[in-house]
A and B are shown apart, each in its own frame.
Chain A
């Protein structure tokens, strides 16, 4: 277990060091997030800002995760760590952690942009909103990161292996949608004890556990 954590930290710190020094994603996202927020705001209006926020974050995350996964691919198109004597779930798990970190940055930029664009983006329950953001980010990062890493390495029919975690993805999306709708409708205490939010937390844990295992299995077997 110690070795697992050490290796996860090692790969995560490698990514963090590269990001801090090279700013490979941060600068790109600093431009993409406000641009996409503006486009979404113009097209969808300010009737439901919370939904708009999550939808914008989802689209930006879809683009960003491809860039992050590509950093693990060598010039020859292979995973750099394919020959490393580690379980590949370690690589996937650390990439998910790094993607959570990037997603938090995305959330902040999108929130600030939408807040500046609209007079309507007033959050009654900011703690509930932040908690929902975190839960949404963890699940989304697990799904997208695993999928993009698998896409880089596995060609053709092998990609269908991702269907294996559909029974986790669908409830995650439904529960996210329900939680977003409940935010603002329920008082803070009731929101935290709602089935949708608690179910979302449970599926986050499942996704965070199953996704790296699926990735390792699909590559090594």
Chain B
């Protein structure tokens, strides 16, 4: 894949589309199997090592989860979700939290800067920091909360799916280091196949609600997850129905065209009125005196 293989870009529209050649590359995906994760955080460390990220050391928040949230300096974290099952037993449900690389990314839709967020032909969502202006629209649009604005440089950061490794034919650093095989990497087709087999296996073992998290609202994701109970994604800190939100859609698809029509309409009406009705001039009682007085300094003071 080359850096020309862009499938979608922020700041474009149907009138001003992205070039649509070379979209034959198979989509890639990361598969996170929550039923295999033991919360060792090796993925978290590998990510910070490979991408050279050093988040500031935080404080204890009553959880092994550390840091508590994805940030510009920590692109992936393991979430330690505490879950009480039907037998009143407490257990951890780990979530490998990072950019989901949505097929229909809300961040890209919300971004109003051309080319600052692009989707590569392999399905990964990538940021161009030299174009990002730091408005943060993507940060508030992301339904997963996995894109973060760095206050130090006012640029957004997130998981790149280790684009530099993938380009060289390697798996992302987190997958490479995963100790339990909870993380896998490959074509999206292969990952979905493996996930399906795993879900069937889990059902056999008594996890009747086991399922695949590949949310429809964002047309599927570039990180799919196998969960113990697909009906309770919230218990993994995942949204039940992630999608591009209504205000973001209204802003892009309704306010922009209607607003443009309104602005142009107002200008057009003003111009037509000016040309047809003409000037609106006051006939002064004494035009010469008026001109003199207006052009000389008024005697009266206008100060308060």
Q: Real complex partners, A and B?
A: no
